[in-house]
Structure 1
Amino acid sequence: MAFKYRSLASLALFATLLANCRQPQASTVVSGAISAKQAQTEALWPEVKKENRPWTRWWWMGNAVDEKNIDRLLAEYAKAGIGGVEIAPIYGAKGHESRYLDFLSPQWMAMLDATVKKAGSLNMGVDMTQGTGWPFGGPQVTPEHAASRLILQKYALNGGQTLTEKLEVKDPKQKEVGVVLQAVMAYHDKGAILNLTDKVSPEGKLNWKAPAGTWEIYAAFNGKTRQMVKRAAPGGVGYTLDHLSKTATQAYLQPFTQAFNGSNHGVRAFYNDSYEVYGADWSAGFFEEFQKRRGYDLRPFLRELVSKEHTEKVARLKSDYRETMSEMLYHNFYTPWNEWAHKHKSLTKNQSHGSPGNLLDLYAAVDIPECETFGSSYFPIPGLRRDSADVRNVDPDPIMLKFASSAAHVTGKNLVSSETFTWLGEHFKTSYSQMKPEVEQVFLSGVNHVFYHGVTYSPEEVAWPGWLFYASLNMTPANSLWPQFNGFNQYITRVQSVLQAGKADNEILVYWPIHDVWSKPEGMQMMIGVHEVDEWLHPTQFYKQSKGLMEAGYSVDFVSDKMLHQSSVNNGQIMTAAAAPEHKVLVLPQSKYMAETTFERAIQLANEGATVIIEQLPTEVPGLHDLENRRQKLQQVTKSLSFTDAGNGIRQTKAGKGEILLSKDIQKALAYKNIQREALTDTGLKFTRRHIGNGKYYYLVNHTAKAIDTTIPLNVAAQSVVMLDPQSGNAGLAASSTSHEKTTVRVQMKPGEALILKATTQQTPEVIAWQYLDNAGAPSEVKGTWSLRFTQGGPELPAEQKLTQLTSWTELPDKKGESFSGTGEYTITFEVPAKKAAEYVLDLGKVNESAKVWINGQEVGYINSIPFQARVGQYLKPGKNTLKIEVANLMANRIRHMDQQKIQWRNYYEINFVNINYKPFDASVWQPMPSGLLGPVTLTPYSTSAGAVSGSLGRKGN
């Protein structure tokens, strides 16, 4: 939004109105009054809503919660900048059993009501997991409705023989859960197949004599996985749900219907975690669903279904089987679950990854698709710590994250959430510097609604470190970084306020050839998950093309067969849903299998006016049913396309109002159609883009090893560009110029920094110009005697120190510093020359791990991640100045001390507590982590140049 002010007096008046509704910025407070500059700066940011702030999963251990602690903790979360909580009941802490509440009991519902009431008073929201632990399951799940698996037992008969043994499952554990015989098929060595199901007596005797020859008999049972809910809370123990059964889903929801009694009790969204239903490859109605959806009977193919042969027939059969499972999951679980939530006037929020289905369709089936980051990524940012012993051997893949955001964009949903920082590092060792680029990668993937994983509810009287979940991140009020958590949350809030504005602005739709994934002869159900990307994602041409397009500067969304069938064309733009953003082109990457109906739809879209780019014409349809007819249809469509040579390796054909291009080089085909990439990526910058009414937002991140100071081109003809710094909250008019429908903007970004550009088609009048840093002078080190005072933490506060040389707390003469986790306050006085420079940059050097800075009593703000720098010229004065730096370190050293002293601090049911490799946790063997301000602290003078109001390139300052 653009604001225009006639005078500084009106700015000051507006500032008072903004004080309670805008996010905090780096302070420019003088005598308690907001300056006109700050008021104008804040007005350039979108208004903050609770969804803009980061939310968190809130572990309720044993449901041992009470109203007093709920009130206290929610107030702390709100103060730290958290916008909402997602209640997740799990196993409990030992010794506190008397406080446990059964899930959905009247007492539990009363605590939910207390949470919603308190959260509402703090302008926070509340979601909840619709179950305990994960996946969905519990005491209401009878064996009949529990997750199922196909059990096949094989028998051999020769001609003239009868089967003497009963047809019953041999596993005694299956008999306990009511296994049911569903089919009996006989396979002759000459190829004959007989259905003998109706020849089995109620007692399990097969009344059939084998004709001449050799026969294999397959008995198919609907068995049970016997999986129980993982990490279940009191009142939540039970079998895992059969997600493929609508009857089972409706039965599962019944206790919620009773407990909620027609109201949602203030729950914004009901949540379902990642699909971790192991071995669940069947359901009672599978034969009937398969016949209805695939058009043929699965029973005669039971032998191939469990075959380990790598044949084309087996691959096609299993593709049909997996597609059926995907559709059953969509219609029998997601549809009734959505209907239940919507009837209660709540939303659904779901992690679809890990499920045996089409991820795009399953993410799109809910109101808020959610992805997750698991493990840590490598970034070449200088000084960024990534200790091999403290990371999991898993790298989050941005393209994996884009499945959730694509589903939201293509179906017109605004919010895309992420379970963020799961096992980013070892317990107690994760810093804001490590968290920042990881969450930036999430933002770049289209996510705009971050959830921490997570915060654990812990009663006030439980000794430090309080109750903790077994998996990191442990961002609780006991965390030594917590006093500066608000600074990190301000960054996320500013970014999300922009990324939730307008609509996603991605020009390319890339089709995901799901049948190539499904047509694998190995195994049964296919778990399409985060940890299996090396199998189902990375080897594919879809992945290589998508990654290449994104790295080249194109913005993409992924689209499924179902989504293409629901799309239309308007003025040459592809419309995937009523509220969805438009896309300029559809790309069909090379694939082995494509449904003839999908290819026909792609050609139809071209006839309606779309541009379709095909890497290679499809040659095969998936599945077994009516195979030859469907092959012929596909061949008829491909042969109907008459291409001419357009040069540069591109073949072209007109199709109705649109055009089809055939090219091995997708990027050359895009250039041929003048669909332009964002060339700013040539600098190494990464970006994501949002379309707003009068322009676009660009969110830029520098994850390279080099500082960038250059002009970058934007694919928009902007009259003005406002620069927004999400780290500090500063804003101003950038130096920019527009020519030939492009705008060039000067940006300055150190490694690890982000910027937001608001490029609008209107002038932005009376906005303070952005000050660029030019001509750095020689940095001067802030030297002298530092006073170091420890202000909070433990196990004991080290003694005050006078330091002439900055050093780690672990190296201080007072040995309490080695085991200390908390905050220390550094103060020093230093001189500034009488002739001040136009700007000064304070560089804290090496910080372990986060800092907050004041100069001359004025708050500069949080400096909590690399490059640990801030502009401070406005706070300095000629002569003597006072610098105060509050530094918070990690929890690691105090936990190490506790384990060395054998102080008991972890005592939980079920998994108790594990390290990053899921081994028993033991910090006693750790080396002390460097802590505090290590510096050197320097001050560098700069001359400046300013962005010009007219949009022409900037003018020189002092």
Structure 2
Amino acid sequence: MPGLDDHRSALRNPPIEYRPELRWWLAEGLHTDATLRAEIAAAHRLGFGGMEFLAMDEGHLDHRRYGWGSEEWVHDSGIVVEETTARGMSFSFTSGTNWSNANLPTIDPDHPAAAKELNFVSFDVPGLQHASRVLPRIDLQAEHAPSLLPGERIAPTKQELVAVVAAPVLGEGVLDPEGVVDLTASVSEGELSWTAPDARLWRVFVFWSHGTGQTASPSASVNYTINYLDRDGVDALTHYWRTVVLTPELKADIARNPRAQMYMDSLELTTWGEGGMFWGRSVAEEFRRRRGYDIVPWLPFLVRSAPMMAASTAYHYEPEAAHSVTVGKVRFDYVRTLTDLYIENMLRPFASFLHENGILLRSEISYGLPFELTRPGPEVDGIETESLEFGSQIDGYRLLAGPAHLFGKQYSSETGATTRNHMLDHRFYDQIIATQLAAGVTKTVLHGWASTAGAEGATEWPGHEGMWSMFSERFDLRQPGSEFYPLWNDAIGRYQYLLRQGRPRIDVGILRTDHFVDNTSGMHFGTADGGRIPDEEAYGRLWMRDRQNHWWQDLGMQDAGWTYEFFDGTLLTRPEVIFQDGVVQPDGPGYQALIVFQEALDVEVAELLREWATQGLPILIVNGARELKWLFAGAYTTHQRAASQTPGLDGRDAELRAVMDELRALPSVAEIADPAETVTALRRLGVRGRAEFDAANASVLTHLREDGELLHLYVYNFLYETGGETRLDISVLGEGEVYRVDAWSGSVRPHSGTGLRDGRTRISVALGAGEMALFTIDRTQRAETRDLAERAVVAELRSWDITVESWDAGEPAIITEDRGLGYVTREVQPTTEITPLHVSGLSELRPWTELAGVGAEVSGVGEYVAEFHLPGEVDPDSRYLLELGSTNGGLGSVALNGAPPRGFDTSVPIVDVTDDLVPGANRVVVRVSSSLNNRLIARGYYDELPDIGALFLGRQATHTVRVREYGLVGPVRLVRERRSSSGRRLLR
């Protein structure tokens, strides 16, 4: 059983597998070997743990020579695998070119392995009239709006008849489902002969299946998106990788890397036609086998459009209100079937193939498409989310935390993609990571990294963009803050190390099924009057930071310090999920209670809940809960009565009601009519948070891990823009000695402000706005009651010598490579010229914009030098903290008396300098970085740059960019903390 001493070495120097990783946008296969090796060496030197690499379109390059699948791309991929493996770093392939889907050069849109859709043409037949006509076909060459994804549509040449269906028209967009007639058998040699049976207007739908024609670029040839529903797709994919990609040399390198991965991003598949339905040759048959009825008569009610992923789904036809529930069930069954096929015909066989070749599968399962979000979780090795599409919202991360924790999967997140580039301070990204940690994300994959070198004619300072200049952030050598990345990666690595130990302890599981999850909230920055909300404003002040969580909107559990997460109820029926020792999945999240709030619930799930409730599991049935449907449209769903029907058309509603009646009668079950009563109702059922607050707190999130007799508790004040210091007492289950881990140094020290009550350990803590804290409670040690440390200001640093290292474009370099293949590869590498700007004798710290000789055009790194006097000796019973006040969100370091630099939290920049302090004169050097925003404004970088956030809102606009304040602004003070006997609790 691990003890605290077992973790001290890893906390001092976090192993590489716990450090943040990178998404690396390669300029196709253009990069020279020298560039590739230098980039990987730099990423390793800066403390990153791995690189996920993918090809991005460089426009005017010869794609046949440099695109995905070319000899150059294969060669470069081998270099990346070789170099990362040699350094102990992970690497991740993608399942095709760019990031958006699995795609292949060996198929065409008519191939069975290519993605398919169901499309339709319709015509009207007046009542009682006879129709005899050749079936109209899809115009496969018709133009449609282009996609934002890399690639284009190449029209298929074949279409296959699936069905012909007639439906009575009751009004504009309204059909009668009871009158639908399947006319497929009436078609002979491509002609329909049929008479409308009554006087109503009838609409005849002719359904054709054809390839979507979706391609992905850049590629040496044309890459087509594969079929995710029929087995043909994955079979073609694995055949290509087995016979073309996985050469003996590459397989040997993979075998040497225990963290070789395949990464599958959000499922960005598109349909082209009016039907808007994903399809495959097996869909209709599998639907009938799994759901017990024929899908064909219902097809008119399934055709749709989805302009912005599945959340935007709009059906073309609706039934009368009397049939809306029935049609809703059919729609559920269709998407449940798609989810089944995605799991069984794509993820499961693909993971098996990868495992045979020593590769793990990490995936952003489901979201983006009409698939259930959480059910695919058990099929992959790592479940990934992202900060972009969920807008760094805690509820968004809770959506995938459920399956990750239930099945012991590594939970990771792509982090840093926004509609901004080079604009925001480093604190903005620290706050995204802090939010993710609170949901149990313990692997950060930064979005992203690019070499500064790129194609001639397309690369300008500050460097090759990779993921387009209008999108995402770069965490690479072009950043002034890269000097401090080793310190930063150490700190994040310590959080991720400790929060991966043992097992998560989540208080409450919430059953939630969603086939159309809104994963576009991170792209919604529009006001009612058409204005543009900056990303940093939305992230820092709106949504969760304006007390508006998206999916579980009552904040009572969160304010009480309770943790909770979501998952589809059918996951509970898997054999590896158990109820034991009073909790669900004791070796996983250990839910102490479950909540049912949606109107639909499967009978099998209700029966399992009844069984577990009989054994004592608290279950809360919540009526009247509202959740987000689609933020763009301001659409929400209110569930009037929980578990009032089955989700599909299985005819078991009465059976469900009977089971639920039995469930409600059990003493461990409660039902409420208002979600605001949740905490009170659960407390009455005997539930108490494992690390709950003594008093409600609206500013703090926590995450708890149980590691044998150790408890690791993460605490975060998430109101980084709108809040201030918050003080709270946290009551943790069990008695033990409390230690606080300094993530910036790895030191572990007893925490003051602790006590015992009712068999629980109380931790008193104060957190500044945006501050994170990490505690370990050792239950093998006797708990100590500790008093408040007396705090005294020892010195205030007022006189500063300042040098701002101003970054701007230098002369570009040309890199050439001749590999003896009959051509020479050329890269241009922009360089950075650094000009020191000196400011001396400053008695009051001010932003660079207000410093004479610096001003509003400068970006770079500021060095601040000052001296202070420590009277007397260094008190061995005290800690000495250098409080920097504010660095305007800039990453940086502090070095005292020539000691190695120490990093700091960008929200609450405080450095423990106890070990470096000497009596008398002390010299401190503070270095603080900026973004490149101000320099790029001055260079006109943003003048014509499209605002992708505006594009998401359907309008054309360029970025509106403002000059930012940079630098150390203080106040800077040396503070001494000394143990007191006053009996007060520690507040910091």
Q: CA separation in 1, counterparts of 2:973 and 2:232?
A: 67
Q: Deviations over 1:828-850 (max 9, x none)?
A: 33333346664443232332423
List aligned pairs for 1:694-733, cutoff 5 A: 694-704=709-719, 705-708=723-726, 711-718=729-736, 720-733=737-750
Name the counterpart of 1:587.
595
List aligned pairs for 1:81-160, cutoff 5 A: 81-92=47-58, 94=60, 97=62, 101-133=66-98, 134-144=100-110, 145-157=113-125, 159=128
Name the counterpart of 2:138.
169
Name the counterpart of 1:201.
188
Greater mean alpha carbon deviation, residues 618-627 or residues 592-601: 618-627
SS of 2:746's partner is coil
Which of the numbers 229, 235, 239 marks the counterpart of 1:250? 235
Q: 1:864 to 1:429 in 2, by over 3 A?
A: farther
Name the counterpart of 2:355.
342
What's the TM-score once normalised by structure 1's chain length?
0.81
SS of 1:407's partner is helix
Contact 1:734 1:770 in 2 (8 A): no
Contact 1:546 1:556 in 2 (8 A): no
Displacement after TM superposition at 1:498 (Å): 0.7
SS of 2:902's partner is strand
Counterpart amino acid of residue 75 in structure 2: A
Q: 1:303 to 1:436 in 2, by over 3 A?
A: closer
Q: CA separation in 2, counterparts of 1:164 and 1:758?
A: 76
Name the counterpart of 2:426.
432
Displacement after TM superposition at 1:901 (Å): 12
Q: 1:545 to 1:782 in 2, by over 3 A?
A: closer
Q: Deviations over 1:867-918 (max 9, x none)?
A: 222233443333322121222222112222322799xxx9xxxxx9756545
Name the counterpart of 2:778.
760
List aligned pairs for 1:874-913, cutoff 5 A: 874-899=915-940
Greater mean alpha carbon deviation, residues 305-314 or residues 58-67: 305-314
Does residue 906 of structure 2 align to residue 865 of structure 1? Answer: yes
Name the counterpart of 2:163.
183
Name the counterpart of 1:65.
31
Contact 2:596 2:643 in 1 (8 A): no
Name the counterpart of 1:379.
none
Counterpart amino acid of residue 502 in structure 1: G
Contact 1:154 1:216 in 2 (8 A): yes
Counterpart amino acid of residue 600 in structure 1: E
Displacement after TM superposition at 1:926 (Å): 4.7
Which of the numbers 11, 16, 19 marks the counterpart of 1:53? 19
Displacement after TM superposition at 1:351 (Å): 0.9
Greater mean alpha carbon deviation, residues 137-146 or residues 593-602: 137-146
Counterpart amino acid of residue 833 in structure 1: P
Displacement after TM superposition at 1:456 (Å): 1.2
SS of 1:278's partner is coil
Displacement after TM superposition at 1:429 (Å): 1.9
Does residue 334 of structure 2 align to residue 321 of structure 1? Answer: yes
Which of the numbers 408, 412, 429 marks the counterpart of 1:412? 408
Q: Deviations over 1:583-624 (max 9, x none)?
A: 3322222x3222222212211233455333333575633356
Q: 1:792 to 1:615 in 2, by over 3 A?
A: closer
Q: How many residues align?
A: 851
Q: 1:709 to 1:663 in 2, by over 3 A?
A: closer
Name the counterpart of 1:367.
381
Q: Deviations over 1:490-509 (max 9, x none)?
A: 22101000111111111322
Q: CA separation in 2, counterparts of 1:531 and 1:173?
A: 32
Counterpart amino acid of residue 270 in structure 2: Y
Q: Deviations over 1:442-488 (max 9, x none)?
A: 00011001100111134399763111122221111111111112222
Displacement after TM superposition at 1:566 (Å): 1.8
Name the counterpart of 1:666.
678
Q: 1:434 to 1:883 in 2, by over 3 A?
A: same
Greater mean alpha carbon deviation, residues 664-673 or residues 267-276: 664-673
Q: CA separation in 1, counterparts of 2:790 and 2:650?
A: 73
Contact 1:326 1:357 in 2 (8 A): yes
SS of 1:429's partner is coil
Counterpart amino acid of residue 886 in structure 1: R
Q: Deviations over 1:644-668 (max 9, x none)?
A: xxxxxxxxx25xxxx4334443323
Name the counterpart of 1:553.
561
Q: CA separation in 2, counterparts of 1:856 and 1:624?
A: 70
Give structure 1 stretches of 5+ with no counterpart: 6-39, 376-393, 519-525, 644-652, 907-911
Contact 2:156 2:211 in 1 (8 A): no
SS of 1:132's partner is coil
Q: CA separation in 2, counterparts of 1:787 and 1:533?
A: 40
Counterpart amino acid of residue 614 in structure 1: I
SS of 1:358's partner is coil
Greater mean alpha carbon deviation, residues 347-356 or residues 452-461: 452-461
Q: CA separation in 1, counterparts of 2:764 and 2:159?
A: 69
Which of the numbers 431, 436, 445 marks the counterpart of 1:451? 445
Contact 2:787 2:984 in 1 (8 A): no
Name the counterpart of 1:566.
574
Which of the numbers 394, 403, 406 marks the counterpart of 2:399? 403
Q: CA separation in 2, counterparts of 1:465 and 1:702?
A: 34
Which of the numbers 214, 228, 245 marks the counterpart of 1:227? 214
List aligned pairs for 1:506-525, cutoff 5 A: 506-512=506-512, 514=513, 517=514
Displacement after TM superposition at 1:371 (Å): 0.6
Q: Percent identity?
A: 20
Does residue 205 of structure 2 align to residue 218 of structure 1? Answer: yes
Contact 2:388 2:523 in 1 (8 A): no
Q: CA separation in 2, counterparts of 1:211 and 1:712?
A: 71
Name the counterpart of 1:483.
483
Name the counterpart of 1:943.
978
Q: Deviations over 1:767-813 (max 9, x none)?
A: xx999874433574323351526387654504433232444434444
Name the counterpart of 2:803.
788
Give structure 2 stretches of 5+ with no counterpart: 144-154, 170-175, 304-316, 525-542, 624-640, 809-831
Contact 2:709 2:780 in 1 (8 A): yes
Counterpart amino acid of residue 760 in structure 1: D
Contact 1:65 1:100 in 2 (8 A): no
Contact 2:450 2:476 in 1 (8 A): yes
List aligned pairs for 1:733-812, cutoff 5 A: 733-735=750-752, 736-763=754-781, 774-778=789-793, 780-784=795-799, 786-788=801-803, 790=805, 795-805=833-843, 806-812=845-851
Contact 1:188 1:213 in 2 (8 A): no
Contact 1:153 1:220 in 2 (8 A): yes
Q: CA separation in 2, counterparts of 1:527 and 1:778?
A: 51
Q: CA separation in 1, counterparts of 2:549 and 2:947?
A: 38
Which of the numbers 377, 398, 417 marks the counterpart of 1:422? 417
Does residue 969 of structure 2 align to residue 934 of structure 1? Answer: yes
What's the TM-score once normalised by structure 2's chain length?
0.78
Q: CA separation in 2, counterparts of 1:182 and 1:775?
A: 78
Q: 1:730 to 1:195 in 2, by over 3 A?
A: same
List aligned pairs for 1:264-303, cutoff 5 A: 264=251, 265-266=253-254, 268-279=260-271, 281-284=277-280, 285-303=282-300
Contact 1:363 1:370 in 2 (8 A): no
Which of the numbers 531, 536, 542 marks the counterpart of 2:521? 531
Name the counterpart of 2:309.
none
Q: 1:50 to 1:114 in 2, by over 3 A?
A: same
